[in-house]
Amino acid sequence: MTVALSTERLWLDPLDPVRDAVDLHVAFTDPEVTTFKSPVSRDVQHSVDRLTEMVRNNDYWVVREAPDGPGIGFVGLIGGNGLDWLLSRGVWGRGYATEAATAVIDHAFRQPGVDRVEAWVDGANSRSLALARRVGLTERGQMPQSGPGTRVVLGKSREPVPTFVINLVAELEVDDVAASMGLFETLFQFRAAIVVGDPPTYASLDIGPWSGSRRLDLVAAEGKPITPSSLTVELANDLDAVHARAMAAGLRIAEPVTDRPWGRREFVLVLPEGHEITVSGPIGT
């Protein structure tokens, strides 16, 4: 059962879809508020349905400026530890979201068994990224989302959680490390972080522009037979452009570009040594 909370300036009551839909419909029909929370509600009943779905298995609070004031937004805890929030545009810029989210995080950490909270934020949603950082969440990872771009995972733990596993590094045996480095750079903009030997017999590639990102190691087979491996490269966008580059590089395409039932657009390319790379991107790019 969701319990009422309060902050210095705000009242957070358990969200009631029918009672609160009219107030929250204001936010749900504001295209600027719903940019990253599409779609815009068609009508009040649609907003009731959305709120009903939201509260089904989760804790949601309607946010008010006075005990009997109108709902100006909501904050939620999805599955006990997933932060969600939305405020009507008329009250932006007052620090309300920070205040309400902080209260909900404090509440979450008072629940038995909850030692971490996370927010999943569209990487293009700089306002929500800033809010998440302001309430003490920091970047933990990234995930694909249904549209183009990436969902940034930000999290906070009640107690510091020391890292145990730093990285999982895939390794591919290749005939020619330098040629493979060039191929991965052309296809995916992977970047050599470490190169050993001249000509290289080992290279460690970063998958993005930052140090310490997810890595791929290339190791010269040096005449030994190569057993093919399988990898998936998850793209935020430009899947068809990568497909075109793979074709231009003369790579074999084992499976053509296909929209998958799990909401991703994918194809499979085969490296000269037989390694299969599934390339996965958002549908519609």
Does residue number 153 form part of the binding site for a second copy (CB under 8 A)? yes
Residue in this structure with the two tokens 């940019």, named with its chain if needed:
35
Residue in this structure with the two tokens 């009943």, named with its chain if needed:
45
Q: Which of these, 34, 47, 125, 124, lies nearest to 86 by C-alpha position?
A: 34
Under rule CB under 8 A, how many of the chain's residues touch a second copy?
A: 62
Q: How far is the CB of 177 from a second copy (least distance, A)?
A: 15
List the one residue from 39, 141, 263, 284 that touches a second copy (CB under 8 A): 141
3-state SS assignment for residue 34? coil
Does residue number 244 form part of the binding site for a second copy (CB under 8 A)? no
Contacts with a second copy in 170-189 (CB under 8 A)?
A: 170-171, 173, 188-189
CA angle, residues 243, 271, 269, in degrees to nearest 5 = 35
Q: Which stretch binds a second copy (CB under 8 A): 11-19, 50-58, 235-243, 249-257?
A: 235-243
Alpha-helix residue ranges (DSSP H) falling in 4-43: 17-28
Residue 13 CB neighbour total at 10 angstroms? 19
Burial class (CB in 10 A: 0-12, 13-18, 19+), 162: exposed
Does residue number 261 form part of the binding site for a second copy (CB under 8 A)? no
Question: Which residue, 75 or 129, has its beta carbon nearer to a second copy?
Answer: 129
Does residue number 209 form part of the binding site for a second copy (CB under 8 A)? yes
Interacting residues toward a second copy by CB under 8 A: 116, 118, 120, 123-124, 126, 133, 138-144, 149-153, 155, 157, 160-171, 173, 188-190, 207-217, 219, 227-238, 278
